[in-house]
């Protein structure tokens, strides 16, 4: 190998292998935060379902049950946004890999918007004998997780901008 070619390739290889692991860290953190958000959305659905069942069992009035059912449906919609490909297994075979590649991505902006809307509705809800503190706690955690994921996503996209 020519000495000039080696002198040219050495810095490029060092640059590639030096910065490549850093980009993987950003992606891994983003994926972990998205997974955390999906788990919190699943927890929110469970909490809202538990509250709805409790309200029905204790004989709460129709308006409260209707309101809790609305919160439950909105929590399920939020979970569907954060887990659009729920129930799919790892792709096996070439066709399944292509199918997996064209599945819809997670829309973090829409999820944050739905979370904020649900949070406002729960805060303004009729609190007559119902304790929304657990639901609000999960919503706050979910909002923080989504905000972190959006920050990581924007950092990752900023590092990949063309000059």
Q: What is the pLDDT along the chain (163 residues), one digit of tens a residue?
A: 555 655 556 565 555 555 554 454 467 787 888 889 999 999 999 999 999 999 999 988 899 999 999 999 999 999 999 887 665 555 566 665 555 555 567 888 999 999 999 999 999 987 788 889 999 999 999 999 999 989 988 887 666 555 4
Cα torsion angle, 85, 87, 88, 90, sign: positive
Say if residue 79 is exposed, middle or buried (CB neighbours under 10 Å; 0-12, 13-18, 19+). buried
| pTM, entire model | 0.73
For residue 86, give Cα distances in angstroms to 54, 78, 82, 90, 157: 27, 13, 9, 11, 26
DSSP state of 60: -
The per-residue DSSP string of 84-97 comes to TTTT-----SHHHH
Q: Where are the domains of the chain?
A: 34-159
Instruction: Identify the pLDDT of residue 37.
Output: 92
């Amino acid at each position: 190998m020519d000495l000039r070619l080696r002198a040219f390739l050495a810095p490029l290889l060092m640059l590639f292998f030096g910065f490549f692991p850093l980009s993987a860290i950003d992606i891994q953190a983003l994926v972990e935060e998205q997974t955390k958000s999906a788990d919190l959305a699943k927890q929110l659905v469970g909490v809202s379902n538990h509250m709805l069942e409790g309200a029905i069992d204790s004989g709460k009035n129709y308006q409260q049950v209707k309101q809790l059912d609305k919160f439950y449906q909105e929590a399920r919609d939020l979970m569907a946004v954060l887990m659009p490909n729920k129930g799919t297994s790892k792709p096996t075979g070439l066709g399944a890999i292509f199918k997996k590649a064209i599945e819809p991505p997670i829309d973090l902006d829409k999820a944050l918007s739905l979370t904020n809307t649900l949070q406002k509705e729960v805060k303004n809800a009729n609190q007559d004998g119902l304790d929304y503190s657990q639901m609000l706690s999960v919503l706050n955690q979910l909002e923080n997780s989504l905000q972190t994921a959006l920050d990581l996503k924007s950092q990752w996209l900023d590092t990949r901008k063309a000059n």
